[in-house]
A = this chain, B = another copy of it.
Amino acid sequence: MFKSLVDKMLANSKVYSELYLSHISIDSVVFGFHDDCLKVLLTRFEGEDNWALPGGYVQHEENIYDAAKRILQQRTGATNIFLKQFETFGKTNRSEGFFEGLPDDLWQKKRFISIGYYALIDFTTLSPEIDMFSDACSWHDSADLPGFSMDHKEIYDAALLQLRRDLNYKPVGYTLLPEKFTMPQLQRLYEVILGKELNRGNFYRKMMRYNILQKLEETRKGGAHKAANYYSFDKQRYEEALNNGFQESW
């Protein structure tokens, strides 16, 4: 590990041990949608080749959801974040090798069980910030991912699988799309999350059945095809669907 990173970790060990609960961390998989691609926000520890999920710790008097939100706000400046816990990762060897050579009484080197959240963030409103331990924080295309630190690839894969499953009973898009969007844009968002093409007619019918869209008067002009209708989400119905779920299929 880079010497300057080790020094900063050692210098913060005591403060962290007083500020945060031991053994518990939070890692978030932050998805964005841009240029018809699914993006993920990754950070890189100073001097490392591999990338990590933005993460942090839980304060003694802080709910875990609030901790996840605080950590992401500090990292991204974003306030409009959809955040969902999906799995907790607790294998004994999950950070194996990462802290090699560092003293055993370093607080950060203890065993940490990490609560995974996935986040959907409006790509355009966000300015990724590096923290004191990292030298980069940037968006990566989900179709072209770099190497990951520790067990973070496993956490990323689990988040994407959960997001795909959630598409079956939850609306997705409010924090990922601009306020008004066309049906092809919405379909493209679903396609990049699911990693497969969808039939246009089926997608349209299914989406309209969910009854969460408002068709706007305005159309998008230009291009070779006929003008495309703009839609926006009906915020109230969207929230209801988020809380109650779509009709289950059984």
Contact = CB atoms under 8 A, between A and B. Distances in A.
Contacts of A60: 111
Interface string A66-91: 00000000000000000001011011
Interface stretch (A129-137, A162-170, A176-184): A162-170
A166 to B, nearest CB: 9
B88 A63 contact: no
Nearest to A116: B88
- Identical subunits present: 2
Interface string A167-208: 111000000000000000000001000100010000000100
Contact of A63 (B87, B90, B168, B248): B90
A213 interface: no
- Report the interface size class on chain A: 20 to 34
Contacts of A194: 248, 250
A115 to B, nearest CB: 5
Nearest to A61: B92
A165 B245 CA distance: 10
A197 to B, nearest CB: 11
Given A87-B85, A115-B90, A250 B167 contact: yes
B250 A24 contact: no
Most buried by B among A65, A113, A194, A206: A113
A63 B60 CA distance: 24
Interface string A105-131: 000000101010000000000000000
Given A23-B24, A60-B111, A249-B249, 16 more contacts: A21-B113, A22-B23, A23-B23, A64-B88, A65-B90, A85-B87, A90-B115, A113-B115, A165-B248, A168-B169, A168-B248, A168-B249, A168-B250, A190-B250, A194-B248, A194-B250
19 contacts: A21-B111, A22-B23, A23-B23, A23-B24, A24-B24, A24-B113, A61-B92, A62-B92, A63-B91, A63-B92, A64-B91, A85-B88, A88-B88, A90-B115, A164-B248, A165-B169, A165-B248, A194-B250, A249-B249
